[in-house]
């Protein structure tokens, strides 16, 4: 029997992933602003790649809800929306609660270097490093839960959360408080105190959602005022 005929790939998966990660990071840190129009040609030129991996990366980002079709030609970075953000945090909060309950049941000892890394990042000015440290902490809890579906489910929501975390992380006071909360959650898990771990993670999630939503509302209001004044 003849082997099945497959279409030859025109670009390597690694290159597509590199383009995807570059665009994801740029959307997350605001280098590509909400509402900004993008074209395959511009992206390919800036990243020094062909249009094919750019097209595939844009399809992935569109599936993630991070870009959308623009009127006319091209695509644009999906505008931020406070209500959608709150909904994302509701789902992530439920996943976090499940994860800490399962991790605490096992009295899992999370790596204390997660806290040290986060506190070090909080003292600096690299917002991406702060976000990466925060994600690493939560991902460690997902892994400690010993249920891979939690991490898989949370991953898509983190892509959206990354976009607005930077606004809150600009506050030095807020940065330190976040890692105090993380350390307390880590201790409750290690002690096997599921009730306390749940209380702490629920408070942590609610506080994060409230502060980020408030900051986003403020930014969107400022943008509307600016656009109104410049008409």
Supply the DSSP symbol for 106.
T
The pLDDT of residue 168 is 64
Residue 70, pLDDT > 80, answer yes
The whole-model pTM stands at 0.78
Supply the DSSP symbol for 3.
P
Q: Judge whether 77 and 40 are in contact, CB under 8 Å.
A: no
78-81 long-range Cβ contacts below 8 angstroms, 24+ apart = 78/34, 79/34, 79/35, 80/34, 80/163, 80/164, 80/216, 80/219, 80/220
Taking CA atoms, 34 is separated from 55, 68, 167, 173, in Å, by: 19, 11, 14, 27
The pLDDT of residue 222 is 66
| H/E element, 33 | none
The mean-pLDDT minimum among 18-32, 163-177, 181-195 falls in 163-177
Per-residue model confidence as pLDDT tens digits over 6-42: 444 455 668 999 999 999 888 887 788 888 999 999 9
The pLDDT of residue 118 is 94
Per-residue model confidence as pLDDT tens digits over 124-167: 888 888 889 999 999 999 999 999 999 999 988 888 888 888 66
**Which has the higher per-residue pLDDT, 174 or 181?**
181
Query: Inter-axis angle of helices 51-64 and 13-28, to 10 degrees?
Result: 50
């Amino acid at each position: 029997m003849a082997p099945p005929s497959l279409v030859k790939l025109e670009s390597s998966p690694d290159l597509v992933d590199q383009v995807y990660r570059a665009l994801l990071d740029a959307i997350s840190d605001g280098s590509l602003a909400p509402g900004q129009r993008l074209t395959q040609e511009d992206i390919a030129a800036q990243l020094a790649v062909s249009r094919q991996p750019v097209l595939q990366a844009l399809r992935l980002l569109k599936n993630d809800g991070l870009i959308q079709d623009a009127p006319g030609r091209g695509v644009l970075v999906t505008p931020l929306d406070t209500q959608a953000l709150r909904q994302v945090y509701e789902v992530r909060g439920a996943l976090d609660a499940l994860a800490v309950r399962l991790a605490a049941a096992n009295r899992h000892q999370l790596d204390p270097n997660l806290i040290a890394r986060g506190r070090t990042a909080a003292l600096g000015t690299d917002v991406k490093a702060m976000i990466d440290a925060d994600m690493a902490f939560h991902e460690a809890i997902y892994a400690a839960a010993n249920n891979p579906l939690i991490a898989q489910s949370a991953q898509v929501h983190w892509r959206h959360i990354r976009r607005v975390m930077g606004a809150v992380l600009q506050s030095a006071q807020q940065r330190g408080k976040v890692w105090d909360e993380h350390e307390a959650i880590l201790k409750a898990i290690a002690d096997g105190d599921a009730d306390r771990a749940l209380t702490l993670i629920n408070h942590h999630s609610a506080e994060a959602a409230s502060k980020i939503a408030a900051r986003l509302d403020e930014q969107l209001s400022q943008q509307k005022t600016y656009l109104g004044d410049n008409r």
